[in-house]
Structure 1
Amino acid sequence: MGETEARPPTLVFSTAMQIILLGRELQRRLEAELVQFGLTMRHLGALGHLSHRPDLSYSDLARRAGVTTPSMLATVRALEELGAVSRGPSGQGLPARLEITESGRELLDKVRGLIADLDRDLLASLPEPEREALNAALRALVPPPGR
């Protein structure tokens, strides 16, 4: 390779690696905040899915989270113990309907505030036009659900 040819960025400065490293740091920070509510990222994901789709089964939730159904059962039980989720009555062979409770909705609202704070901290050094451009670019890169 001649000296005038473009070289790929070093691994640490590749876009993918920067996004991965940033994502890990943001996840670590959010997880540290979630502890005060007795939540984990898996709890938060299940709550978020159920807030939009209360008809999801344990298997559906597990598939979306990339975990086993027994693992999701434990996650939902923990959410029930927190009072964030309740099981509606099941009918003749039909699975129980999982519903987010008022307490669960309040938890989600508190977590939305935490995430807004993370966003504010993350973007504080960028001027508004760059914030908007970054958000637009990230939205374009995020694959649609189920892909």
Structure 2
Amino acid sequence: MSTAPEMPSSTVMLMIAAGRQLQRELESDLSAIGLSLRQLGALGHIAGNPELSYSDLARRAGITTQSMRATILMLQEQGAVRSNLSGQGRRANLELTETGEQLLNEARRVIALRDRAFAERLGAEEEKVLSAVLRRAAPGPADTARRG
């Protein structure tokens, strides 16, 4: 008798299981360069819009403002982000340092390698189809803004 759990037959459950596995793999890859997935997200958002507040960043990441502050503090300690505080109660005006830019570029390289490994696992045609389906299924920026 096998004690291994059966594969879920639900598409949603299969997507969740695959997503969790890919997340673990990417987290492991990113940890090798000193980043977490949460830190990568923060770096990417700051690079795209340095005017975002801690609350804005937290909403985009789906975490509390306090957790985002801790994430930004870790990035500041790594020398990846600096804050140009303009006074009490004002936006932090976060920006990437040269180190932050290098980390973000290295993370992009890591993601590209993970993408290639995933495409090899599926095959090029299946990866293209899955990518197209996920683009339609994933929430877009407008959907995310409505939730936030």
TM-score class, shorter-chain normalisation, is: 0.7 to 0.9
- Equivalenced residues, count: 138
Alpha-carbon separation, structure 2, partners of 1:85 and 1:131? 35
Instruction: Name the CA shift for 1:112/1:91 in 2 (closer, same or farther; >3 Å).
Output: same
Alpha-carbon separation, structure 1, partners of 2:23 and 2:91? 33
- 2:54 is matched with 58
Deviations 1:98-126 (A, max 9, x none): 00122111111111111111111111144
TM-score normalised by length of structure 1:
0.84
Mark the runs of 5 or more structure 1 residues left unpaired by the alignment. 1-9
Instruction: Name the CA shift for 1:92/1:20 in 2 (closer, same or farther; >3 Å).
Output: closer
Residue pair 2:76, 2:82 contacting (<8 A) in 1 also = yes
- 1:76 is matched with 72
**2:140 aligned with 1:144, yes or no?**
yes
**2:40 aligned with 1:44, yes or no?**
yes
Instruction: Name the CA shift for 1:133/1:59 in 2 (closer, same or farther; >3 Å).
Output: same
Q: CA deviation at 1:132?
A: 1.9
Instruction: Name the CA shift for 1:93/1:108 in 2 (closer, same or farther; >3 Å).
Output: same
Alignment RMSD (CA, Å): 1.9
Mark the runs of 5 or more structure 2 residues left unpaired by the alignment. 1-5
Residue pair 2:44, 2:104 contacting (<8 A) in 1 also = yes
Alpha-carbon separation, structure 2, partners of 1:136 and 1:28? 23
**2:103 aligned with 1:107, yes or no?**
yes
TM-score normalised by length of structure 2:
0.83
Identity of aligned residues (%): 51
Instruction: Name the CA shift for 1:127/1:74 in 2 (closer, same or farther; >3 Å).
Output: closer
Q: CA deviation at 1:93?
A: 5.0
Question: Which residue among 24, 27, 34 is the counterpart of 1:31?
Answer: 27
Question: Which residue among 109, 121, 132 is the counterpart of 2:128?
Answer: 132
